[in-house]
Structure 1
Amino acid sequence: MLSKAKIKLIKSLAQKKYREQNGLFVVEGVKGIEEFLNSDIELYYLYTTEDIFKVSTAHYSLISEAQLKQVSQLKSPNKAVGVFKMPKPKTIVDSQLIVALDAVRDPGNLGTIIRLCDWFGVNDLVCSKTTVDCFNPKVVQSSMGSLTRVNICYLDLEHFLETTESITYGTFMKGESIYKTSLPDKGILVMGNEANGISEAIERLINKKLSIPRFGNLKITESLNVATATSICLSEFKRSTT
């Protein structure tokens, strides 16, 4: 049974300040919850309308469809809501390719980039403190379980890049074509904000400026979506080293 206190807690986790206060975040849907249950991220509690999960009864309750709708962030809730404990970030490994995000604000973009890191074998995703929270419900939903396999660290990006010994790469409208650049198997790939790209403070710390050339006849498209650009860049980095 869902008490009023539990309903209030779960609904409050839609906001970052309450996620941080409680150290908890929400995962919705059967497939997404199974991904997290099979990871090393610790379950706090699971509420479901069907007895379909292998979970200790100490962390598990059956609820009604009406109760599920009370706590779900989705228009069409999918059988279950899981509350998990936020994992602590792991040590960043600088001997491999790292993706860094400079103020990426859209939850859908971040979720997609997390999936791309998972797909292309990027273990560490470094985010500026102005990047959207990876435990935002929309990020969790769009990452589709990849959040369990990518180490995400929020830090002072400028300081991180100032102190790293790795070569830093960034995407710009004016830079060397990524298709003509010899790319290594390690380094830091920096991707910028949806509207403004990489900030001036971060730009000065980029060692190698890359561009994704436009092939259209008119060449008037202003820019690519940051998640789309990330997919192209990661594909080229991996293609160059395989």
Structure 2
Amino acid sequence: MTKKEIAEVKKLAQKKYRYEQGLFVAEGLKAIREIIDAGFQVEILYATCPNEIPAKKTSIISEVEMERISFLQKPTSYLALIRIPNSTNNYQTEGSQLTIILDDVQDPGNLGTIIRLADWFGIQTIVCSINTADCFNPKVVQATMGAIARVKIIYTNLHKLLKEAKQHNIPIFGTFMSGENIYTAKLPRNGIIVMGNEGSGISKEIEYLITHKITIPSFKAENVESLNVAIATAICCSEFKRRIF
């Protein structure tokens, strides 16, 4: 690979460049195959050995070159540049499903884990604020372990969306340090779960649109920090989904 080719791949760490080129990075055979199976188009595949992965172009490179273009501490044998799909960013607020909404979640690892959780719990859609981390960030894609191919991710104005949802009488649950105990609360099959920013939680402009404030109680008396947003999302999804049984 030339220095220019290596630089072009590494630039995809930047959101601006990803959308200018319409490409994102996926690494690892399993993740790449799952993304392809979901209908995504591989623009170019870099591999350290021959393979049968369908791509417009395949380039066999050395392990040293793979280390130079990889975003992982321990690179795999495969790295693909994948075309970002066209998105309508439309979300129908009919309340016929359980939806996760993320209010300015910043950490790529947290977002990737939440996407993976949504896939596990059969939640088809995640709606993000404009300032939430980009789902095509290499760290996010890697953390999803292929789930990004199966969960629809929408970026939109949350205030407008939640206001409309409230007008349609869709239950909107928000996680707070104080609220109704999630383990004893009546939770519906369908509705919206809002998860807030890692440091400041749910913003004030979104808080007043919440129809049900819930909390995950601590079993320690004092001096307890709030839960990591991905862990809190896992607990919420589990509680909502287990009521089905």
Short-chain TM bin: over 0.9
Query: How big is each residue's C-alpha offset from its partner over 1:86-125, in whole Å with a ceiling of 9 and x where there is no partner?
Result: 1233653541000000010111111110011000000000
1:186 paired with 2:190, answer yes
5+ residue gaps in structure 1?
none
Query: How big is each residue's C-alpha offset from its partner over 1:141-200, in whole Å with a ceiling of 9 and x where there is no partner?
Result: 111000000000011111111112222110011100011111111111000011111010
Instruction: Give the Å deviation of 1:7.
Output: 2.4
Distance 2:7 2:150 in 1: 29
Instruction: Give the Å deviation of 1:66.
Output: 2.0
Query: How big is each residue's C-alpha offset from its partner over 1:194-216, in whole Å with a ceiling of 9 and x where there is no partner?
Result: 11110101001100000111112
Q: Is the 8 A contact 1:113 1:230 kept in 2?
A: yes
Query: How big is each residue's C-alpha offset from its partner over 1:69-99, in whole Å with a ceiling of 9 and x where there is no partner?
Result: 2211122211111000112336535410000
Matching residue of 1:146: 147
Secondary structure at 1:179 match in 2 = coil
Moved over 6 A (4+): none
Distance 2:146 2:73 in 1: 20
Distance 1:232 1:123 in 2: 17
5+ residue gaps in structure 2?
none
Relative to the length of structure 2, the TM-score reads 0.93
Which residue type is aligned with residue 226 of structure 1?
V
1:232 paired with 2:212, answer no
Which residue type is aligned with residue 230 of structure 1?
T
Q: Percent identity?
A: 48
Give the CA RMSD over aligned residues: 1.4
Q: Is the 8 A contact 1:182 1:240 kept in 2?
A: no
Relative to the length of structure 1, the TM-score reads 0.94
1:53 paired with 2:52, answer yes
Matching residue of 1:12: 11
Instruction: Give the Å deviation of 1:228.
Output: 0.6
Distance 2:151 2:180 in 1: 29
Matching residue of 1:119: 120
